[in-house]
Amino acid sequence: MEQRTYNQYCATARTLDLVGERWTLLLVRELLTGPKRFGDLQASLRGLGTGLLAARLKQLEREGLARKTTLPPPARTPAYALTEAGEELGPAILELARWGLTWAMGERRPDETFHPGWTVLGLRACFDPEAAAGLRAVYEFRIDDEVFHARVDDGTIEALHGPAQRPDATITISEEAFLGITGGGHSLARAIEEGAASASGDEEALRRLRDVFRLPTPRPRRAG
């Protein structure tokens, strides 16, 4: 498959030559949260065929943005991970996510898929370092069968798949209720009142949760 180019000596154009093809940035998004097996990527990116997925991964390898690796025991299976250059796309993708939360999200469309694991990156996009100043807490989130956690350390965050060893606060919520929150129409407090969510653990960590992970106010792209 021939790679298209803008043929412009410009940093933006050169970057888009590398990651501007359909599905490429979403592959980087998946790998930003850690190495993934081919099957994991296929499961998270429904609609991306096997052949095109293989082609996009080969392109990322060829351009020095991803590499083959082996997952640690007990898995010991082949996987893909980002290189240093690929990891440095993280801030740009987070800024795209923040822009999207303000200008593009709204309610979920009937034909749109959702994977709770995408929230791991979403936590980073919604994180407010100033609001997290002085806070040291580990939050564990459970959306249906998906479990992930965020370690907040005085204005910094590390968000990872899987359970936390010693969470200070645990938030359990159904996928439907979570989507109601991200769509801007509901709050965690309302979901708890309705029995669609629960929160337990350190009171200070729970009290600061809303400010530490703050969804931007959605705005219309057209005036009027």
pLDDT digits (tens, 9 = 90+) for 83-112: 999 999 999 999 999 999 999 987 888 899
DSSP 135: -
How does pLDDT run across 6-63, given as a tens digit for each residue?
999 999 999 999 999 999 999 999 999 999 999 999 999 989 999 999 999 999 999 9
Chain region(s) in the chain for CATH 3.30.1050.10: 116-212
- Ranges of CATH 1.10.10.10 domains, the chain: 11-88
What pLDDT sits at residue 74? 85
Predicted pLDDT of residue 185: 67
Q: Pick from 182, 212, 176, 217: which is nearest to 194 by CA?
A: 176
Extract the tokens encoding 7. Answer: 């043929």
CATH assignment, 116-212: 3.30.1050.10
pLDDT at site 224: 63
pLDDT of residue 1 exceeding 60, the answer is no
- Average pLDDT score, the chain: 93
Q: CATH class for domain 11-88?
A: mainly alpha
> What angle do the packed helices 50-62 and 24-31 form, to 10 degrees?
80
pLDDT of residue 54: 97
Tally of CA atoms within 13 A in the half-sphere of 132 that contains its CB: 23
Question: How much is the pLDDT for 67?
Answer: 98
pTM (2 d.p.): 0.90
Nearest to 113 by CA among 48, 171, 36: 48
- ∠ CA(90), CA(91), CA(94), 5° rounding? 85
The residue count of the chain comes to 224
Question: Do 114 and 43 contact (CB within 8 A), yes or no?
Answer: no
Output the pLDDT for position 216: 87
